[in-house]
Amino acid sequence: MKRMKMYWLAVCLMLACAEASKILVVFPLPSRSHANLGDGIVKLLLNAGHEVTYISPFPYKNAPPTLRTIDVSKNFEIMPMDIMNIKTIMNTSKFLHSIAFKMYMAINMMRHTLQLEGVNKLVADPKEEFDLVIAEWMFTEIPAGFASVFDCPLIWLSSVEVHWMILQLVDQPTNPAYTVDLMSTYAPPLSFWQRANELWTQVTIKFLQYVWLDGVQERTFNELIHPLILKRGRKPPTFDESRYNASLLLSNAYISTASPVALPQNHKFIGGYHIDEEVKPMSAELKKLMDNAKHGVVYFSMGSNLKSKDMPEELKKSLLQMFGTLKQTVLWKFEEKMDNLPSNVHILDWAPQQAILSHPNLAVFVTHGGLLSTTESVHFGIPIIGIPVFADQFLNVVKAVNKGFAQRVDLSYTMADELKEAIIEVTSNKRYAEKAKELSFIHHDRPVKPGVELVHWVNHVINTRGAPHLRSPALHVPFYQKMYLDLAAVLVILFLAGRVLLKKICAAVRSKKESGSQKKNN
């Protein structure tokens, strides 16, 4: 009995010390990998004693009392499903992958999200209050509206390594001469044409935003956010006032794989925070399989969004046949049963990925190169073979190849032979595994764990009411001032005026001289 009382006292003390804040976490994208990042943040915040409201398309099972979830699974209905189908991607429709389409989709998705019943109820209720909003940036800044509605600080989360589009929200875009766009397939150092190409990408996207997409966003913001703020009795901010108002930018990356460029003070690396300190054990059956793999294990997974079952039949067959010729044990994450499996190939319809990556017999991870998978492979020090399919995966894989712990294979109907060569190269040449171990050391060699860092900065922003002291002065300096175009204009005017003046003086002197000599002659 006494013990019980002590226990409750300790719990109360802990809660009191942690100073629970109310935090709204906004991750409405209907995609498992993005939800994993959101879940990771929610878990850390709950452990730190905060009260969390979580907008997510994946309803939470057994939510603790300090977590309220707002289900936006209806967002699945407005995703063009084919966007994630391997077959469609292989027979590519270019437009689906263009940045303009992605931005337009993202704006549409946010519009839809704001109008869903649960979300609408939350934002329309003037009694709802928050101390902080954390929102994922995915091609739209409309989520900044949540912070404006609740009149509280905003933190952007970048699900990928920061890039110029998101940096311009807290500082300024990076220089395309040595940093690349998030959809780029180049990695610096850039050649002349690559450099020109990166500049062109920035200029065209800026142009599209200027003439089209910013207008769409602003109209949505004015239509859906303004009335909410008016209802709370405040004057609504402009869209720009709202979207350039973030206190912090957290990026799901770390210098072990990110590019070492200068970043603003309110940018913090937190890559790896979604990985649990203690890896959940795998099933006894799988463990036995991996323990007994004399020649090591090849683990093949195309992630949670791309379903292997959508793979073309001929590709499936040729891969299976090729895997059968390997001496290693092959674990293939695949969502359907397959017949005539070679004895060394095992199909897992669900894979405990982190447990597999932490097993000492794992030789190589064959992956689509999504950032979560590449981060996890660096965390556990495993070399990879990347088969990029979508979005930032190309860049992730190119960077991994350049870092020296990866090989790249292109998705195609006839990739089996190439994949086999890559597997043999990566498993027989020690340098890939050594490099992966070295990067893993860098990844873990930081003053505090990424989860601790995340919670620290979240608390810092709350306790300093938006951490204005971290904000970059560059935000308030217009482009022409940064480039000193005004000074250039002044110098040009001075130069021209000087020239005119000089000419006048010369002319005056000359005419004086001439009149003087005329006098003499007379």
Ligand X SMILES: *[C@@H]1O[C@H](CO)[C@@H](O)[C@H](O)[C@H]1NC(C)=O
Interface residues with ligand X (CB under 6 A) are: 87, 91, 147-148, 151-153, 237, 241-242, 245, 247, 465-466
What string of H, E and C letters represents the secondary structure of 319-341?
HHHHHHCCCCEEEEECCCCCCCC
Strand order in the sheet with 384-386: 345-348, 329-333, 297-301, 362-367, 384-386, 406-408
Cα of first residue to Cα of last residue in the chain, in angstroms, is 128
Check the CA dihedral 373-374-380-383 and report its sign.
positive
CA dist 365 to 126, 296, 323, 401, 404, Å? Answer: 50, 11, 14, 14, 14
In angstroms, give the least distance from the CB of 276 to ligand X.
31
Token code pair at residue 233? 């009795």
Q: What's the rounded Cα separation, in Å, for the pair 387 and 150?
A: 43
Q: Nearest approach, Cβ of 463 to ligand X (angstroms)?
A: 12
Q: Which is nearer to ligand X, 223 or 276 (CB)?
A: 223
Nearer to ligand X, 55 or 351 (CB): 55
CB of residue 87 to ligand X, shortest distance in Å: 5
Smallest distance, ligand X to C-beta of residue 473, A: 16
Cα torsion angle, 394, 400, 404, 407, sign:
negative
Residue type at 223 in one-letter notation: E
Q: What is the C-alpha to C-alpha distance for residues 350 and 336, in angstroms, rounded to an integer?
A: 10
Say if CB 495 and CB 169 are below 8 A apart: no
Question: Residue 148 CB, nearest distance to ligand X (Å)?
Answer: 4
For residue 505, count CB atoms less than 10 angstroms from its CB and return exposed for 0-12, middle for 13-18, buried for 19 or more.
exposed
Nearer to ligand X by Cβ, of 91 and 292: the residue is 91
Token output for 452: 């601790």
Nearer to ligand X, 152 or 180 (CB): 152
Minimum distance from CB of 422 to ligand X (Å)?
23
Residue at token pair 């311009």: 168
Instruction: Match 């602003």 to its residue by tokens.
Output: 218
Task: List, in sequence order, every residue forming a beta bridge with 136; answer none if it has no partner.
Answer: 157
- In order of 19, 100, 324, 410, 432, the CA distances from 424 in angstroms are 54, 39, 14, 16, 12
Closest CB to ligand X among residues 43, 460: 460
Closest CB to ligand X among 80 and 516?
80
Least distance from C-beta 316 to ligand X, angstroms? 14
For residue 189, give every residue at least 6 positions away whose Cβ sits within 8 Å of its Cβ, in sequence order, or none.
178
**152 or 436: whose CB is closer to ligand X?**
152
**DSSP characters over 456-516:** HHHHHHHHTTS-GGGS-GGGGS-HHHHTTHHHHHHHHHHHHHHHHHHHHHHHHHHHHHHHH
Which residue's CB is nearer to ligand X, number 95 or number 193?
95
The CB-side HSE value for 153 (13 A sphere, CA atoms) comes to 24
- Closest approach, Cβ 220 to ligand X, in A, equals 16
Shortest distance, position 235 Cβ to ligand X, whole Å: 10
Nearest Cα to 309, choosing from 336, 279, 344, 278? 336
We find the least distance from the C-beta atom of residue 162 to ligand X, in angstroms, to be 20
Q: How far is CA 287 from the centre of its chain?
A: 33
List the beta bridge partners of residue 134: 25, 155
Residue 506 beta carbon to ligand X: minimum distance, rounded to whole angstroms = 58
CB of 245 to ligand X, least distance (A): 4
Cα torsion 18, 24, 30, 33 to 10°: value is -30
Residues 6+ apart with CB under 8 A from 411: 86, 89, 90, 387, 388, 389
Nearer to ligand X, 91 or 325 (CB): 91
In whole angstroms, how close is the CB of 333 to ligand X at the nearest point? 23
Query: Which residues, at least 6 apart from 144, have a Cβ–Cβ distance to it below 8 Å?
Result: 135, 154, 242, 243, 245, 246
Residue least distant from ligand X (Cβ): 466
